[in-house]
Amino acid sequence: MSKKFVETQKNIRGKALYYDENGCGVVEQGKMKIPVPFLLKDEVADLFVVKQGKYFTSRIDKLIETSNDRVKPKCEYYTSCGGCQLMHMSYDAQLKFKTKYVKGLYKGYKVEDTIGMDDPYAYRNKMISTFKFDKKIKSGFYKLYSHDVVSIKKCLVQDDLADPIMETIRQLANQYKLKVFNEDKKSGFLRHVLIRTGHYSREVLVVLVVADRVFPGKGQFIKALVKRHPEIKTIIQNVNKRQTSVVLGEEEHILYGSGTIKDQLMGLTFNISSKSFYQINPVQTEKLYGLAIEMADLKEKDLVIDTYSGIGTISLIAAKKANKVFGVEINKAAIKNAIKNAKINKISNVQFVEGDAGKIMVQMAKERVPVTTVFMDPPRSGSDEKFLSSIVKLKPKKVIYISCNPATQKRDVDYLLKRGYELERIVPVDMFSHTNHVESVCKLKLKK
């Protein structure tokens, strides 16, 4: 690091005046605004600060005054693992932080309080663990903003079924002397493990992400794993040879079971594969989707489009109240999965269409199809203007927008507000307890 751009300052004493969007306490020193991880609002601390150009990295050297909102994190890996950012903050304070963050984006609008969890632990139905070799094979999660793997044996926010299975996989990997993939040398075999658990079904899907098709001792490895954990219903070998941070490769081989597991959501059954988009927190998902359906206020005559429909979760839930639902998804595998889910649940008033939702809505607008409601649940990056303009052309009476990134949601909402819609309701939902992430669902209504 060049000395020209780095200025190190020790023993700066400061008070956190507010939080940034990541939940860091912000200390102001003159014109400097320094975000400090693990520092709570109104706390005073001695800080170690490194300045690089306009940016700062900082850590607490010594806490001088502590907040009543501070709690001792239950996780022994908390400060080294990058998975959670707010476990030092009481849960009530976490919810208030998330509400205030969304309110800051939606200034001038009423934002309801964040809907929290009764028990904000063991909620994640999906875990991705990465391997490393340190005298023996270990596994864990990446340190925040790095590719250093923190060895972890128990994660408090993962489903309780996941950690024992991961422990067995580590033991078997060492027993069969499998080699860990080395990113620098571009050699080795084991890369990651993805474990998905059915919250209600208690079925488990395991994906072994490896760098080669040839799996040494594959038969015995799989036999031993399933014997120890009969809750595992399917095991997949995912081959990822690319030099990439993307976990899953394109090539997959089913080593055991059908390749999918089942779980229940709002009274419906869903088939879930390794690459299915399925919400991480099943308890909060029922609250989130229930809220979205409530906002939509669907009637028997309503015609609905579920854009970004994935495996059909929202589509099938909406179909129980609406006349007809079109689920649109660009991913071919997700469409096949959605069609299968419709058959499993014996729902016939839903049609899944593979394609670009924006183009399909434009065509529907030309044909004057009387769509009343659009559901949208895009990725973190939100939607683009081309997609949003197709909603404007279609003119549905209601748009229900679910987002895992309220900042991009607000940007998209602003576009619709300038083009004939008004914002009726905004509710944050805590889908990712102990992290700085928050989900948000809002209802937009076409002006009369």
Point out the residues that are catalytic.
404
Question: Do residues 45 and 8 lie in contact, with contact meaning Cβ atoms separated by under 8 Å?
Answer: no
The CB density around residue 132, as the number of other CB atoms within 10 Å, is 17
Interatomic CA distance for residues 409 and 337, integer angstroms? 27
Question: Do residues 268 and 262 lie in contact, with contact meaning Cβ atoms separated by under 8 Å?
Answer: no
Residue 195: C-alpha distances to residues 210, 231, 245, 259, 312 (Å): 14, 12, 18, 13, 21
> In DSSP terms, which residues pair with 16 in a beta bridge?
27
In three-state secondary structure terms, 416 is helix
Interatomic CA distance for residues 48 and 354, integer angstroms? 53
Residue 444 tokens, joined:
């937009």
Interatomic CA distance for residues 249 and 137, integer angstroms? 22
* H or E element in which residue 270 lies: strand 268-272
Interatomic CA distance for residues 258 and 337, integer angstroms? 13
Residue 7 CA neighbour count, 13 Å, CB half: 7
Interatomic CA distance for residues 167 and 171, integer angstroms? 6
- Among 310, 280, 290, 289, which Cα is nearest to 431's? 280
> In DSSP terms, which residues pair with 439 in a beta bridge?
429
* Packing angle, helices 385-394 and 406-417, rounded to 10: 40
In three-state secondary structure terms, 356 is coil
What strand order describes the sheet that includes 136-142? Answer: 149-151, 136-142, 126-134, 190-197, 204-210, 232-239, 251-256
Residue 50 tokens, joined:
């490194």
Interatomic CA distance for residues 353 and 305, integer angstroms? 10
In three-state secondary structure terms, 10 is strand
Question: Do residues 189 and 179 lie in contact, with contact meaning Cβ atoms separated by under 8 Å?
Answer: yes
